Amino acid sequence: MAIQSGPREIVTPFRPIPLDVPEGMKPNEFFNSAENLNDLVHNNGLLKTPENLLLYRKALGHSNEFDTSIIYNTSQSILDPLGRPVRRTQVPVDVKHVWNRMNQILIEFMLEKYPDPASHLVLAGEASLDATWPLTSPGVPSIRMLHNHFIVFDQEALRNATLADPNNPNLTDGGQHSLFERYMSNVYHRFFSSLDLTILKPVRDGSSQLALTGYPHGLPSWEVQGGVDALKEVRFWKEYDEVLKGFIDFYRTFFSQVSTRNAPMLQDTYFPEQVENILLFDNAFLKTAKKVRDHCITDAKYANDLRWKPAFKQLIYRNDAGKLVVTISQNSIGNAITELLGVVVKRSPDAEAYERQEPQLIEKLLEVRHRLIEADLGDGIETAYWPAQ
């Protein structure tokens, strides 16, 4: 009997965090504080670098098979949460150099430990953490600092998981509700095809979709030519950033037209020639901006829910054929990075179940930490759960 394709909802147990939010503060206000980040370091920190990059265990993780993050921890040096770098284009060059090397080692480690795409889904990437919504809105990021995710899901667990409701707003992506793909698919793809990429090869045959979930839908995707070895090349990470810069140009240009009819091209675009020739002279692009603008004028709630600043999710993941694929999506709802691949994570407070899975998770986290230390990418952190080395 064939397994039905569709998004999956997987249950992940976690150990409740003994963290008290001070009286009079909202949770998202406290989670952005220096005090909370201090707790993150001392209770879950694995490794830190002189550049303030922090590798840590996800206390509220997506997967207990393998799940870790690197955060650019500027909480002690930039006290204004809205003044912190929240995407790679805002990170100093020397920090990004170290960041990319850490990414490469972590992704290589995951692929080495989980070599079979039929057995494990491997992904890495980040979502925007900008102040793209009103701070009072649900879903506003709890830690407003750039961090990325490294996650592995067991495919058997995904196959046995409950089918998720495809209308779940958290499954928003290019083929369902996204404004970009619904009304501007052709110009969106044409704009991305104009980027100068050599390692990243556009995927046009549908192989970017996972057979089990059917995701991602209709998004621009690129195969990483050379596989995991290509991640050791500086050129790959420059192209990965080019994709993000292209997305930012598209997003900002579109919403500038939504905000102001016939707005001039923004001064700080990354690809001004493509913006002028492809976007600002495309009827579908400008017609869609008018549609959204007209809706904003008559619907206050709709206008308030818009993310006027660039909101994105960008992933490197392994497809069914074992190829590494890069994709990027508008982050319309503020949904989890896993949901771009059709995986909805339902976190369940269950300390006993988490503790049964914890030893193998920690073993792998400490092993990859050792590789980072050997590569001169930081020093270990001692916690109540593990030593410094």
Phi, psi of 98 (to 5 degrees): -70, -40
Asked if residue 192 is part of any domain, the answer here is no
pLDDT of residue 60: 84
Asked if residue 126 is part of any domain, the answer here is yes
Asked if residue 354 is part of any domain, the answer here is yes
Mean pLDDT of all residues belonging to the chain: 90
Which amino acid is located at 166 in the chain? Answer: P
Asked if residue 157 is part of any domain, the answer here is yes
Express as a percent the part of the chain with pLDDT over 70.
92
Q: Which pLDDT band, with edges at 50, 70 and 90, does 134 fall under?
A: low
Four-point Cα dihedral 268, 274, 277, 278, nearest 10: -110
Q: How does pLDDT run across 246-282, given as a tens digit for each residue?
A: 999 999 999 999 999 999 999 999 999 999 999 999 9
Asked if residue 206 is part of any domain, the answer here is no
Which amino acid is located at 369 in the chain? Answer: R
Asked if residue 71 is part of any domain, the answer here is yes
Asked if residue 351 is part of any domain, the answer here is yes
Provide mean pLDDT across the span 105-130. Answer: 94
Asked if residue 341 is part of any domain, the answer here is yes
pLDDT of residue 1: 60
Print the domain residue range for 63: 7-172+333-389
Indicate the number of domains in the chain: 1
Q: Who wins on pLDDT, 371 or 142?
A: 371
CA atoms of 53 and 202, how far apart (whole Å): 31
